[in-house]
Amino acid sequence: MNQVDYLRISLIDRCNFNCQYCMPEGAEIDYILKQNLLTDEELLTLIREIFIPVGFRRFRLTGGEPLLRPNVVKLVSQIAQLPETEDLAMTTNGFLLADLAEDLYQAGLRRINISLDSLEPATFDRIAGKAGRSRWPQVWAGIQAAHRVGFDPLKLNVVVIPGVNDGEVLDLAALTIERQWHVRFIEFMPIGNGDLFDGCGWVPSAQLRQQICDRWGLVESRVTGAGPADIFQIPGAKGTLGFISQMSECFCDRCNRMRLSADGWLRPCLLNEAGQIDLKAALRSGVPLAELREKVRQLLGLKPEINFKQRESGTAAGIYTRTMSQIGG
């Protein structure tokens, strides 16, 4: 069994983008009320007193858009300074990164994933869903700032949507030839509001790999914190290509992560809500920390049975209703 030592922490469920596959403009989303968000102190208590003692060592801050969290830089520094933290990373849409990259790096963040679904501003805006002034230039500036400051590895996440951005796969892959950037192609999941692209389906990673291989060739490779991605490289390229194939190849058997939502729910699986624990309610009602640690340990023991595969066989409720931003993507 995989050791589960990796926690994805959602800092906030809100976002400054409206990606069509996540929280499209006008969608009815039950946002978490401010008083129900974990406070910084509660989050740090959970990390120090619960997650580290039961074995978590690697943390990723996500959302919603994590850079919208007030005091995010201070929070990063507090988590980075815990002696047991072996790895601290963030997934962001990059819109606020140009101004924050330096401070985040100084605070101890070293790894960053930035979502970039398109190199074409018009396509980018079609996906990210804001009318008016294009947001692409600012995201690109955020990526450049992260590069300058020294984030390593610097990964770019691309959700591939048929008929929308799948024609750009070679251009996006080419970014890795001259730059030490790591482009990861993610199969589009029809969860939450995913069907807004009119049942356009998803592109299997194998098809993308073939397309890239036909153009340049591909060799197997490695990168820090690859998680469930299969890593390849264009021969001689400085960066790598990752393929995250949760639709075409179930990787539950090697899953090593749990998720903490911004309102304190600990979830063992992205798409299976069985077993989840409301840690915020427990903390606020004074449940002893030792008791909470025991509950989390028990959930860790159950993790192999609570997964995407089980969900497919219909054993879990609540699927396809929550978006990535609500679960903590």
Give me the residues that bind ligand SAM (CB under 6 A), please: 15, 21-22, 62-63, 65, 91-93, 115, 157, 159, 186, 188-189, 191, 194, 324-325, 329
Beta bridge partners of 181: 154
User: For residues 4 and 160, which CB has a smaller minimum distance to ligand SF4 in the complex?
Assistant: 160
- Smallest distance from ligand SF4 to CB 27, Å: 10
Q: Which residues bind ligand SF4 (CB under 6 A)?
A: 15, 17-19, 22-23, 63-65, 93, 115, 324-325
Min dist CB 94 to ligand SAM, Å, is: 7
Q: Among ligand SAM, ligand SF4, none, what does residue 37 contact (CB within 5–8 Å per kind)?
A: none
Nearer to ligand SAM, 270 or 283 (CB): 270
For residue 172, give the nearest of 184, 186, 180, 189 by alpha carbon: 184
Asked if 97 and 135 touch (Cβ cutoff 8 Å), the reply is: no
Interior CA angle at 280 toward 35 and 311, to 5°?
A: 115
Nearer to ligand SAM, 63 or 242 (CB): 63
> Min. distance of Cβ 325 from ligand SAM in angstroms?
5
SS3 state of residue 300: helix
Min dist CB 122 to ligand SF4, Å, is 17
Q: How far is the CB of 118 from ligand SF4 (least distance, A)?
A: 13
Cα–Cα distance for residue pair 176/91, rounded to 1 Å: 19
Query: How many Cα neighbours within 13 Å face the side chain of 141?
Result: 11
Sign for the pseudo-dihedral over CA of 172, 177, 179, 183 = positive
